Amino acid sequence: MIRFTSMTNGYVHLGLCRIAKCVRVAGVLLLGTLLAPLAAYAKDFSVASYGAKADGTTLNTAAIQRAIDAAAKHGGTVTLPDGTYLTGSLFVKSGVTLRVDKGVTLLGSQSISDYPEMPTRVAGIEMTWPAALINVYKQTGATITGEGTIDGDGKVYWDSYWALRKVEEPKGLRWASDYDAKRPRLIQIFDSSKVHLGGGLNLHRAGFWTVHICYSHDVVVDGVIIRNNIGGRGPSTDGIDIDSSHDIDVSHADIEVNDDALCLKAGRDADGLRVNRPTENVKLHDNIVRDGAAGVTFGSETSGGFRNIEAWNITTLEHVPNGILFKSAHTRGGFAQNVRLHDFNITGARIVLSITMNWNPSYSYAKIPDGMTSYPPYYTVLSTPVPADKGIAHISDVHIWNIHATGARTAFSVDAYTNAPVESVQLDHLDIAAQTAGHIDDAKDWRFSDASFHFADESKVQLKDDTNVTGLPQ
């Protein structure tokens, strides 16, 4: 009978005999027993073992990627000792957990050459674009977690964008600036599934969008703290964008950004209609938006459509101008169906419910200036005409309830089209205090019930080109 006497430093001792000798003596009988604890031990891959230096100045892209690639061979966890790791784009592989613990910062390089260009979708069209700082690209079963920080250090990219805008806008190229100024996103989950992101991660200063979930499914985001307004207000620093993806759950996010916070997207104009992939089966819940365009935003990239969307327990604070926002354009197309929005607590919004189908025309409608003959291929994609009957988004079957709003400027700002009204909207259990009531234009079959409105100017909601709008308090 063989008796184990101790285990130290990864070796099992049999008396004074180390594992190698024990295996030779005991043969196959001992392999499973002895190697199982070692296999468990081997599942952690420290980036320090692959040459990474936590000094904030050494570029660690290759070293950290080596650790990720090693973990991918076995299905393991990549760990980082405390400190700051300067890095370019990293690619988390299937079966890998990237653990960014408290005390660790992944700091994005300020050199765009450290973000390789790859096929992706950006702001509604498919094109080649710099990879994100952290990427899950065509993978299955990956996790990014921990209470540490992923910091894009994005101000250099914000500044380059504003500089380009100053040059392009007078030329009639406002619509092109967001595509010409190639800025890295912080985290992209692209064409992937079974991905988990969260655990208390701090996401700071994205060069562009913070978390972009595109062409993916079965993704859970649970517990992220997004702060993009550190050292300035980064343009288009969206919080979490869910783009032509399905079966997504986002919860316990704490968001402070300079644009859309929790946003649903599905493609832009001709290219989005070509791809024709909806965003569907999405749950957004137990989130707080401290700064951003809205509590929940649909669009403006609506081409593929939205269905089966539920958002609840959403809190917005006084720097958030819209409680609920639908936005599209007359070249965008798409739809929204079976949308359920409830239990919102909205403070200090400019507009509680905003629906606009002609959003930001200088950005939404691409026209190549007369006489311009040399331009990138995506200009042609963006300016491809969309037939009028394909360009209008259709919103229907929406239920909004348990909305508590205080300190608002306007309750309603709804503008659709007479030939394409917003249809079949049920609003109930509303408690809205605002300076003024606002308006609802181009609505059909809206039903209000159990609605309590308190308007400081004693105004009434103005209706125009509406059909069968009932139950509004008089």
19 by DSSP, 3-state: which? Answer: helix
Question: How far is CA 273 from each of CA 216, 301, 328, 347, 438, rounded to the nearest angstrom?
Answer: 18, 10, 13, 36, 33
Residue 1 included in any domain: no
Separation of alpha carbons 320 and 290, rounded Å: 7
Q: Residues 289, 378: contact at Cβ < 8 Å?
A: no
**Is the domain of 32 the same as that of 119?**
no
Residues 36 and 159 in one domain: no
What pLDDT shows up at residue 39?
Answer: 41
Any domain includes 20: yes
Q: What does the CA dihedral 15, 19, 23, 28 come to, rounded to 10 degrees?
A: 110
Q: pTM for the complete prediction?
A: 0.91
Residue 46 within any structural domain of the chain = no
Residues 282 and 136 in one domain: yes
- Cα–Cα distance measured from residue 77 to residue 57, given in angstroms and rounded to the nearest whole number: 24
Give dist(CA 424, CA 399) in Å, integer.
8
Q: Are residues 289 and 148 in the same domain?
A: yes
Residue 265 lies in a domain: yes
Q: Are residues 226 and 256 in the same domain?
A: yes
Range of the domain at 231: 62-470
* 331 and 438 part of one domain: yes
**Domain match, 83 and 205 both:** yes
Number of folded domains in the chain?
2
E strand or H helix at 143, and its extent?
strand 140-145
Asked if residue 33 and residue 132 are part of one domain, the reply reads no
411 falls within a domain: yes
Same domain, residue pair 25 and 135: no
Which residues of the chain carry a pLDDT beneath 70?
Answer: 1-42
186 and 305 belong to one structural domain: yes
Asked if residue 57 is part of any domain, the answer here is no
Residues facing residue 280 across a β-bridge = 246, 307
Angle between helix 28-41 and helix 19-26 axes, rounded to 10 deg: 150
Q: Would residue 48 count as lying in a domain?
A: no
Do 254 and 290 form a contact (C-beta atoms < 8 A)?
Answer: yes
Instruction: Report the CATH number at residue 202.
Output: 2.160.20.10
pLDDT of 142 reads 98
> Dihedral sign, CA of 47, 52, 57, 61?
negative
Do 30 and 155 belong together in one domain? no
Cβ-contact 452, 431 below 8 angstroms: yes
Alpha carbons 243 and 256: distance in angstroms, whole number: 20
User: Is residue 55 a part of any domain in this protein?
Assistant: no
Query: What distance in Å separates the CA atoms of residue 25 and residue 27, rounded to the nearest whole number?
Result: 6
Are 163 and 27 found together in one domain?
Answer: no
